[in-house]
Amino acid sequence: MLFKGIFQQLSVSWSAILFLFIAIIVISVLRFRIVKGWIGEKVTAAGMWLGLDGNVYRRTDDVIIPVSDGTTQIDHVLVSKYGIFVIETKNMKGWIFGSSHDEKWTQSIYGKKSQFQNPLRQNYRHVKCLTEFLDIEEGKIKPVVFFIGDCEFKTPMPSNVLNSGLIPYIKGFKQECLTEEQVSEIEGKLITLKQDKSLNREAHIDSLRRVMK
């Protein structure tokens, strides 16, 4: 009985240690992905700051918009008389496979494959939410997916999915669709969102968890 009790105690202890070890790995992976995504966003922001005239393209980063089922987060929004550019960034390496109709895309590094959400679908949700929030025609919003990192597309991609040339792509839009007054009004609404303390990254993550349950 004594040995049985000790064995049971050891079993519980090892289970607790194993659980703690797994928890540390999971937290480390999540933090790595968050930091990696954050770096990608900052690199993109720096590139736009250097390559685009801030008086023409009004940039707001990390925009969190309230929606009916929680919130949605947009990496970068550029407001200009040529339209509103909604930019989703992906900091990834390796080969990238995907198409507009696929639910999941594939990343391959040294033969190891992993899947991730189709960023076009992800950005489409951003566009719909921003369209509703701003009460503006969807055609005036230009969705862009920009991959940062040493990656190569191994399948044909739509013209708005890029791994280089983001600035020339944005500058390629020459037809004006917003007035200066509209640009200023939209920028003001986005700034107001940024100043709302309840719309922070922690609240957005909690929102995602609720949706996933």
Q: Is the pLDDT of residue 125 over 50?
A: yes
Pair 84, 78: CB distance under 8 Å = yes
Question: In residues, how long is the chain?
Answer: 213
CA angle 158, 85, 60 (to 5 degrees): 140
Residue 150: the pLDDT is 87
Burial classification of residue 57, based on how many CB atoms lie within 10 Å of its CB (0-12 exposed, 13-18 middle, 19 or more buried): buried
30 pLDDT exceeds 50?
no
What pLDDT band is residue 138 in, cutting at 50, 70 and 90?
Answer: very high
Secondary structure letter of residue 59 according to DSSP: E
The pLDDT value recorded for residue 45 is 55
What is the Cα 189 distance to its own chain's centre? 20
Mean of pLDDT values over 105-124: 95
Q: Max CA-CA distance within the chain?
A: 84
What is the structure's pLDDT at 42?
56
Q: Is the pLDDT of residue 55 over 90?
A: yes
Alpha helices in 52-145 (DSSP H): 119-134
Which stretches does DSSP call E strand in 81-186? 83-91, 94-97, 104-109, 112-117, 141-148, 151-153, 161-162
Looking at every residue in the chain, the average pLDDT score rounds to 80
Q: How far is CA 75 from the centre of its chain?
A: 5
In this predicted structure, the answer to whether residue 26 has a pLDDT above a threshold of 80 is: no
